[in-house]
Amino acid sequence: MQDQLIKLKEEKGAQPLRYVDLYEGGILSKFVSSYTLFSTVELNDAWLELINFADGTEGAFPEGDGLCENLRAYSSDVKMPERKGEQDPPSLDPNSKEYQQYLKRRRAKKDLIENAMTWKDDYLAFNLYIRCGMTQKMVAGLCGISEGRMSDIFHEWAQVMDDALQEMFPRPTRSQMLRVYPSRFIEADGHARCFLLLDAI
């Protein structure tokens, strides 16, 4: 997959890869299932609409300001006390003063960046990283962004995907987990404390 992707990028020339390349006629349109979490771009669109939560329902974010459209940059917006669990994250209530101030800062920052990636472009970069066995440096080069920005994208999207999936699937109790815990994990790790396995294959 990695070699194929590099070849496709060479065909595209200097233009960085973007989410629109997944649509019909785009350089990635025939390989959506290889480079994303779903088999078609329509399924990716539906998934993004679901977790972006800007669908006009009660309590949803305003259209154009959905959850995934305003993810916080890990390197600059998520301070050490929050990373260590010593401080709660800021409010995500669309009507809160705290969130409105964050949106204002984020929009001002976006306005300073020419040809900034969209939130869906970030999602594509995250997918390329977890699906293709490439380094963050390689994906950053293909998408025309810095390694630091790629690192932020990985942290942002890993968090939002984890949050979304935990809401959608039942959470087993500790005793339920231990009853079916893989013996190979215990043999390899010497304990049974690993309760979350992210499979990005």
DSSP-H helix ranges across 169-190: 174-179, 183-189
**Model confidence band, residue 201 (pLDDT cutoffs 50, 70, 90):** very low
Residue with tokens 């204002």, as numbered in its chain: 104
d(CA 198, CA 139): 20
Dihedral angle sign, alpha carbons of residues 106, 150, 148, 6:
negative
Q: Tens digit of pLDDT for each residue in 64-113?
A: 788 888 787 877 777 788 777 887 877 767 777 877 777 777 666 665 55
For a pLDDT cut of 70, what percent of the chain falls above it? 89
d(CA 196, CA 201): 15
What type of residue is 152? D
Residue 176: DSSP 8-state = H
Which among 196, 132, 121, 133 has a CA at the least distance from the CA of 157? Answer: 121
d(CA 51, CA 71): 12
Task: Give the model's pLDDT for residue 193.
Answer: 78
Query: Looking at the predicted structure, is the pLDDT value of residue 29 above 50?
Result: yes
pLDDT, averaged across the chain: 83
State pTM to two decimals.
0.74
Cβ partners under 8 Å of residue 39, min gap 6: 32, 33
**Model confidence band, residue 142 (pLDDT cutoffs 50, 70, 90):** very high
Task: Give the model's pLDDT for residue 100.
Answer: 75
Query: Where does residue 190 fall: left (phi above 0), alpha (psi -120 to 50 degrees), or beta otherwise?
Result: left
Q: Which two tokens stand for residue 129?
A: 């990283």
